[in-house]
Every structure is written in C-alpha cells, then in structure tokens.
Amino acid sequence: MAVEVREVKDKRDLKTFIYLPEKIHAGHANWVHPIYVNEWKYFGSKKNKAFQYCQTILLLAFRGKEAVGRVMGIINSRYNEYRNEKVGRFGFLETWEDQEVVHALLSRVEEWARGLGMTRIVGPYGFSDQDPEGFLIEGFEHRATIATYYNFDWMPRLVENEGYSKDIDYYVYKLDVPKELPGFYKKIFERAEKRGSFKVVEFRSRKEIKPWIRPVLSLMNECYTGSDIYGFAPLDEKEMDDLAKRYLPILDPRFVKVVTKDGEPVAFIVGMPDMTAGIQKAKGRLFPFGFIKILRAAKKTKQLDLLLGAIKEKYRGMGLDVMMGVKMIMSAQEAGMKIMDAHHEMETNVRVRAEMEKMGGKVYKRFRVFQKVL
C-alpha cells in the first residue's frame, strides 16, 4: 500500500503525532517516554514561543488509515540570521523499519525547506540546542537519558540511504563518582578558594533557585554566543522562562551550582538525578500517580546526569570548573550516587573531553547529526 504524507492540521492530528512513538517503540526496553504534558506544550504553537520566529511543518505518514511515521521540519530564522546560514532542520523522525516511509517524510521536509530558500538541511534537531539532538549510533544497550533521542539501530542507516552524511558527532561520557576527591582536584580547589574572590552558591530548594534563573541563562547566552557550539542561538527572556518552567519542577537543588564574583554569576553547572526508570513506569503520564513513580525513581537512582554548564570567558583557566566539580562530587557522594552521565559533548570540544578522560571517564554513547545539501 502506498505511503501518503499529510500535514498535521488539528488537535486530533497532533495527538496522533505526539503518541505515535510509544506505539513504534512498544517493548523497546531502553526507550523512554516523553513527559506528555511537556510534549503538548512543546508542539503547541500558542504555548511554545519558538513558533513565533521559526517556520515549521508537522507531518504524518499513513498507509491507508494507519499512521506509520512522523517528522517535523523547522527553519529557525533567528538562528539562520545569527549564523548567516540558510539551513533547515528535520526532527522527531519516527517510523518502523521502512525505507519508503523515511523517504516519503524526509523528501517532503526537504521540498518544503527548499521552497523557503534553504540550501542545506540538518537533523535530527529541534528548535534549539536545548532540545534532543542527533540519532544514537553507539550505546544502544543503555537506557535513554532525559532530553536525548533513543532510536532503533537501523534508523541512521535509513537516513543515510536518503543521501545524508555526518555533520557532527556528540560523545557521552560515563564517570564513576569517586569515593575520595583526586589529589590534583584538591590542589586546584584549594588554590581557587584561597583567591577569596569567588564563591560557590549552593541551593536547598527550588524556590531559592528561581531568582537565579535569568542571570544564569543570561550568562549561558554570553558564554555560548560567538562560540562554536553547534546549533546555538541566544535565548530571549521569555524563552528563559519557558525553559525554566520545563525543567525547574524536576530539578534537584542539590545538583545546581553557581560560582559568583561580587555577587554576580560567572559560572554554573546543572545536574539531575536520572529519573528515566520512573518515567518509563509512568509511561510519560504525570497523573494520577505518574509523578510519584518519577520522584521515587529520582530518589533511588545511583546515576547523576549532567545537563548544562558554562564559565565566563575571562575567568576560564582559574579553577572555577574544579570548584563546581568538587562541590558536585561532594553532593553526589552524599546522595549515594555511583556514576555520572556527562550528557552531550561535541567531538570538537577537545578541552572538555580531555578533562572527562582525565577523571577516568569513558565514552559509552555517541550521537550523530546528519546533513544534506538541498
């Protein structure tokens, strides 16, 4: 039966789009449901501010009456202007192992992007670098972490068959939480502390974190702007608030560290207990009892996931990374954590990767963003 591609036009279509992956991944042990409350907000043009400066298309593929695939096309106009590029994106591609469906969906997105003047397309990628990026190409034996893709091992091959090639890889390191701080860490930490001008701020509640959200994300904008961080474009204040609403309810204050100088943030790092086992049990539904399963998993886990971090450029090389790292390790030890997941590190970020390896970190997952000239 031929494949028909239709654009998502109403709430019923959007519901099909949002819930299709859990049908495709039924019985897939390491796939983790999205939190569906967030999915409705993310794909809702009235609730997600990114729709105001991005052109988008949401597509469903059908064989007869059955939905068999989905994809989203995105043109981030603000990013393209910021980077002086004409790049479209595809994201959230899901299907069973079916080349015809992948071809139909990607061809339609390419045609759409080309018609709007784009000369290249990359993916999988979302609105920003805060969204899931890259298909998993190594590490399928490990469960997905929050804000990452988990695809079948055949998906990259089907995409490559459509003329796509590697654009960039991300490495994910796993590190043991040391029982004792490494000697070289202690020396650098003591040296940085003796300077006396820097202070590590720690938190006891989400309420204490709230006043720091915009200053910290503004620091992220400053640190990432002009950098070679793939896919980054600065967030405005409304997007900062939206990002906070998305993650603040599940943040653990113990794993948020901010370094200040004269009361102003100059560095930060954010981690989160791995709660994906609870999300799986809740099947992505918070209510009526899903949130209890998620919170219980966060309390029981032995894995800490590192999510975001940055240091103001003029203070790099002064031991601030070690100050935050020591405090994070101490918090992880107190919480009984055994391992840390370093989240995505660009393959080109050799400095951070060297630090990970110096701490004994091992690459255990790899993700790839693909590209194609239109």
For residue 197, pLDDT over 80 is answered with: yes
Percent of the chain clearing pLDDT 70 (strictly above): 99
What does the alpha-carbon distance between residue 352 and residue 364 come to, in Å, rounded to a whole number? 16
What does the alpha-carbon distance between residue 105 and residue 76 come to, in Å, rounded to a whole number? 19
pTM, full prediction: 0.92
Q: What is the pLDDT of residues 115-126, one digit of tens each?
A: 999 999 999 999
Q: What is the pLDDT of residues 129-150, one digit of tens each?
A: 889 999 999 999 999 998 899 9
Please say whether the beta carbons of 68 and 96 come within 8 A. yes
Sequence-ordered list of residues with C-beta below 8 angstroms from that of 67, at least 6 positions apart, any chain: 16, 20, 60, 61
User: Can the peptide bond before residue 288 be classed as cis, meaning omega within 30 degrees of 0?
Assistant: yes
The residue count of the chain comes to 374
Pairing mode of beta strands 256-261, 264-273: antiparallel
Cα distances from 349 to residues 8, 79, 228, 346, 355, in angstroms, run 38, 21, 9, 5, 10
SS3 for 303?
A: strand
Give mean pLDDT, residues 96-110.
98
User: How far is it between the farthest Cα atoms of the chain?
Assistant: 72
For residue 225, pLDDT over 80 is answered with: no
Beta-bridge mates of residue 261: 198, 264
Give mean pLDDT, residues 186-212.
85
Provide the CB-side half-sphere exposure for 337 (13 A, CA): 28
**Would you state the pLDDT for residue 226?**
62
- The full set of domain ranges for the chain reads 3-171, 178-337
**Phi, psi at residue 89, to the nearest 5°?**
-135, 145
Domain 3-171 has CATH 1.10.10.10: no
Provide the CB-side half-sphere exposure for 101 (13 A, CA): 20
Q: What is the pLDDT of residues 8-23, one digit of tens each?
A: 999 999 999 999 999 9
What does the alpha-carbon distance between residue 241 and residue 277 come to, in Å, rounded to a whole number? 27
Percent of the chain clearing pLDDT 90 (strictly above): 69
* Pair of tokens at residue 67: 């939905």
Q: What is the pLDDT of residues 45-88, one digit of tens each?
A: 888 989 999 999 999 999 999 999 999 999 999 999 988 999 99
**Would you state the pLDDT for residue 227?**
63
Please tell me if the domain spanning 3-171 has the same topology as the one spanning 178-337. Answer: yes
**143: number of Cβ within 10 Å:** 15
**Would you state the pLDDT for residue 235?**
79
Domain 178-337 has CATH 3.40.630.30: yes
Please say whether the beta carbons of 104 and 112 come within 8 A. no
Cα distances from 213 to residues 54, 111, 166, 245, in angstroms, run 24, 39, 35, 10
